[in-house]
Structure 1
Amino acid sequence: MFRHLCKSSRLFCASLALMLPAAAPLGHARPADGTRVEVWITTADHALALAPSTPGRFGDAAENDRLHIAINDRQRYQEMVGFGASLTDSSAWLIQHKLDPGQRDALLKELFGRQPGGLGLSFSRLTIGASDFSRHHYSLADTPDGKPDPELEHFSIEPNRGDVIPVARAMLALNPQLKIMASPWSAPAWMKDSNSLIQGRLLPRYYDAFSRYLLRYVDAYAAEGIPIFALTVQNEPDYEPKDYPGMRLNAAARARLIGDHLGPMIAARGTGPQLFDWDHNWDKPGEPLGVLSDPAANRYVDAVAWHCYGGDVSAQTPVHEAFPDKDAYMTECSGGDWEPVRSGGLPLQARSIIIRSARHWARGALFWNLALDENNGPNAGGCHTCRGVVTIDSRTGAVSRTDEYYALAHASRFVRPGAHRIASGETGGDLDNVAFRNADDGSLVLLVTNAARQPRRFTVGHDGRRFAYTLPPRSLATFVWNPGAARDD
């Protein structure tokens, strides 16, 4: 059980195993006796890493604790799709070519399997053509002479056959519930006013061809056994990077592309995929609001996709309130070596991307690269200080696990697809929380971060009962209990 969950010495792990109570298999609470709460904890230094801890027990808490989390599972919000990370070209290449078959099988089972001990990741993202985390720049409809090809005679997913396609298939084999979205970083160069994958804008005369390009991708991947759940029309459409593929596509352009071209094409198919708008930061909510306010585009947009690199996660809620029939998703956030991520560490990543995004209506949350190497690559431009959910040593295949891994694990291992977020009171200060009710067995899951450098004691109340718990400094915990048979509510 402690094979890769304990980061200290073998002696420490053995001592920890002796001190902790016997626990059910990770990810499933032991059949409840009505009072017991299973607990798993990770500390910022990974001395405890998804470690089963002393159980909580309803009935041992007074009612005068200042920090209290009230749980109401009768008040339900969005249904969850899940948690995960992007299978970038770099991630797929490392997994497919820098791990031997045994290492690759073990890692993918750990990430996407649910039993025994898997994270059960249930949401992922692919790039349509190259991103900065590719080994070279390309689209799926490059032409030998750079001339326009509006009939897409040169379309091909051949660049993905050696890595992305086999790894994505393996992920789906382990978790058939896995939902995969896809985003382009650029249209083919011949569709743009820059005539380059780098910078530029999509020419309106190619809106139709670009829409067909995206759906050719969906169909080509479906033929490979990889269903695409959702598309965005452009990654980070308010940014033109200078050294990797990108394309500016403002709200007015996206509204025309979606409302007059791609949306009607998807509607005529009758089989999807879903369309998510924006796929960019919290700091410009006016952009998705502009698309959703367009009557033609609105009817085809299913959700708004958000990134974490600017603004605050609370921006998701006013957009949801303005258009409550549209879902929200957190579709990109990278860990890495910069502030405030460097000093905030695990509690910051878990609070911002898992806990608060869900509290602000996200049905799913994705970190960026699933895997990078010891040099934060390979990449072709862009971020040189980003890190993956796991780090693969390209020389040996050894795998190490980052803060993002544990932030995901504390959610995905316990909150299953189809769960609903439920009401949970906010304590303020250093503690943040979010709660869920699993649909299959009625179990309740509470995630709590303690960002303080001191232990924090708090109480949790549910159905007129309370338990108390003290979290270590700078830690993340998952609490699981089963209140009994489902009620008629």
Structure 2
Amino acid sequence: MHNPSGRLQAAVLALLAAGSLSAAAAGRPVQAWITTGDQSRLLAREADLRFGPGQPATTVIEIDPSRRYQEMQGFGASITDASGILIQQRMNPAQREALLRELFGPSPGLGMAFTRLTIGASDFSPTHYSFDDMPAGRSDPELKHFRIEAQRATVLPTVKAALAINPELKVMASPWSAPGWMKSSDSLVKGTLKPQAFDAFARYLGRYVSVMKEEGVPIFALTLQNEPHFEPDNYPGMRVEPEKRAAFIGRHLGPLLQREHPGTQIFDWDHNWDEPDSPLTVLADKTARRYVQGVAWHCYGGNVKVQAEVRAKFPDKDTWVTECSGGRWSPDWANNLMYFTRTLIIDTTRGWARGVLLWNLALDENDGPHLGGCNDCRGVVTIDSRTGEVTRNVEYYALAHASRFVRPGARRVASSEAAGQLSNVAFRNRDGSLALVVANGGKEARAFSVRLGKEQFSYTLPPQSVATFAWDGKP
């Protein structure tokens, strides 16, 4: 019987056997997921593409999985008091379970694998508190009054549920202030850490790690202070200059964690890109440097390029992005998609970030609850405080284009930087699969090819849009 398709199949198999045609060139499929700036497609699955030997587009992104860079932990957002209150007290059990599985569960969930907690209150808390508050003029150097009760019904069950869904989730934590009695201001607002309180504050942070471990929440890393060069006037904050941070880490917190909690790392800085000399000063201190495993960055000032510059001077120290928020101050959805994808996902990881965190995981329809501080910040999702209904914001989609496809243990791999408004970053997961995130920041659609060795596929990305391509990397 005449069977041309059978002859074609036999010919392909023969070429494969002879080594003249790889499995990828024979049509290995590539998943394509896209979010467009006009919101017509939101993390939408496109028809599969195929690797093949055809003519490449003018713009080519070269992928070289043999050139490997940092190991990734992943992407996520902070479980603030506001987020915990909304998830635990403004959603019914079915809504809560569905949202947490969507955020922390594997595909089709976002697979968030990194989160941050506040040690005491931030501006996104209904009251200002530490875990060891005392009346004015009194102190508690033995920490007899240490309690985490303010977060027991909100933050704690939320992070425990997230860990149950994703056991690979890493949890870091940062204080916005030491207890007031440890500070020059005798208040959670303003002031600096008193030198005579260094030992007590180190034990305070160590006690927090112990209590959270007892509650089933291992703390992967600490910073000693959120935004240590900023003293807000209406919510907890504390200025800690680099020399003081170095002394505190080198003589107090570092030795304590090494002795009592050797699995908990210290990240210095936890502030903006615009003052790289501050973490460099801490790392220049030989005693402190022994205990600092990484540098944490925020996005609110400066240029992301300083991440790589600091790392070049201390290549044994990891890089992390631990806070960035969107808000009503930037209402253009497409511009936000480009910023969060190009800067927070692509540029930070090309700049050695092992993990990337946005700020509030969830806020309500009034951008809260909060007390002082930011009154127009936006959460990754918005939860209606009356109904529990969820709105997925632009930050959700920017995160999803990486967090769903880049798993803990993935390695960033080499990918050429395309010309113009096209930017990209590539990763190889532990199972060998590859993920490529591409953003087109231009006003026109851009055609490009992705080349892996002698194989390639092509795609045209609409303006101000982002796509993730995922494929099996095994030959």
TM-score (norm 2): 0.93
Superposed counterparts of 1:126-275, under 5 Å: 126-269=117-260, 271-275=262-266
Which has the larger displacement, 82-91 or 469-478? 469-478
Render the CA deviation track for 1:377-415: whole Å, top value 9, x for unaligned.
010011111100000011111101011101111111111
The residue aligned with 1:302 is 293
The residue aligned with 1:47 is 40
Q: Does 1:381 align with 2:372?
A: yes
**Which residue, out of 454, 465, 472, partners 1:475?**
465
The residue aligned with 2:50 is 57
Could you say what secondary structure the match of 1:284 adopts?
A: coil
Contact residue 60 and residue 451 of structure 2 kept, 8 A = yes
Give distance in 2, aligned partners of 1:340 and 1:424: 32
Could you say what secondary structure the match of 2:263 adopts?
A: coil
Give distance in 1, aligned partners of 2:199 and 2:58: 59
Name the aligned partner's letter for residue 78 of structure 2: S
**Which residue, out of 408, 411, 416, partners 1:425?**
416
Q: Does 1:120 align with 2:118?
A: no
Offset of residue 250 of structure 1: 1.0
Render the CA deviation track for 1:157-199: whole Å, top value 9, x for unaligned.
1111110111111011100110000000000001110111111
Contact residue 84 and residue 155 of structure 2 kept, 8 A = yes
Unaligned 5+ residue runs, structure 2? 1-22
Give distance in 1, aligned partners of 2:230 and 2:236: 10
The residue aligned with 2:69 is 77
The residue aligned with 2:9 is none
Name the aligned partner's letter for residue 199 of structure 1: K
Q: Does 1:347 align with 2:356?
A: no
The residue aligned with 1:400 is 391
Could you say what secondary structure the match of 1:213 adopts?
A: helix
CA shift in 2, pair 1:341/1:238, >3 Å: farther
Contact residue 341 and residue 349 of structure 1 kept, 8 A = no
CA shift in 2, pair 1:138/1:101, >3 Å: same
Could you say what secondary structure the match of 1:120 adopts?
A: coil
Could you say what secondary structure the match of 1:313 adopts?
A: coil
Render the CA deviation track for 1:103-122: whole Å, top value 9, x for unaligned.
0000001001115x111100
The residue aligned with 1:37 is 30
Name the aligned partner's letter for residue 471 of structure 1: L
Contact residue 335 and residue 341 of structure 1 kept, 8 A = no
Contact residue 335 and residue 464 of structure 2 kept, 8 A = no
Offset of residue 339 of structure 1: 4.5
TM-score (norm 1): 0.90
Could you say what secondary structure the match of 1:400 adopts?
A: strand
**Which residue, out of 40, 60, 63, partners 1:68?**
60
Name the aligned partner's letter for residue 184 of structure 1: P
Which has the larger displacement, 425-434 or 172-181? 425-434
Contact residue 60 and residue 468 of structure 1 kept, 8 A = no
CA shift in 2, pair 1:76/1:34, >3 Å: farther
The residue aligned with 2:19 is none
Give distance in 1, aligned partners of 2:364 and 2:413: 38
Render the CA deviation track for 1:53-96: whole Å, top value 9, x for unaligned.
13222226424x33211000000000000100000000000000
Which has the larger displacement, 331-340 or 283-292? 331-340
**Which residue, out of 434, 439, 450, partners 1:449?**
439
Could you say what secondary structure the match of 1:459 adopts?
A: strand
Offset of residue 458 of structure 1: 0.8
Could you say what secondary structure the match of 2:46 adopts?
A: strand
Offset of residue 468 of structure 1: 1.1
The residue aligned with 2:96 is 104
Aligned residues: 452
The residue aligned with 1:283 is 274
Give distance in 2, aligned partners of 1:61 and 1:386: 47
CA shift in 2, pair 1:139/1:41, >3 Å: same
The residue aligned with 2:18 is none
The residue aligned with 1:86 is 78
Aligned-residue RMSD, C-alpha = 1.5
Superposed counterparts of 1:329-368, under 5 Å: 329-339=320-330, 344-368=335-359
The structure with the largest alpha-carbon Rg is 2
Offset of residue 338 of structure 1: 2.2
Q: Does 1:465 align with 2:462?
A: no
Give distance in 1, aligned partners of 2:330 and 2:455: 40
The residue aligned with 1:25 is none
Offset of residue 478 of structure 1: 0.4
Give distance in 2, aligned partners of 1:221 and 1:263: 19
Name the aligned partner's letter for residue 87 of structure 1: I
Could you say what secondary structure the match of 2:68 adopts?
A: strand
Give distance in 1, aligned partners of 2:159 and 2:75: 16
Give distance in 2, aligned partners of 1:374 and 1:340: 15
Could you say what secondary structure the match of 1:114 adopts?
A: coil
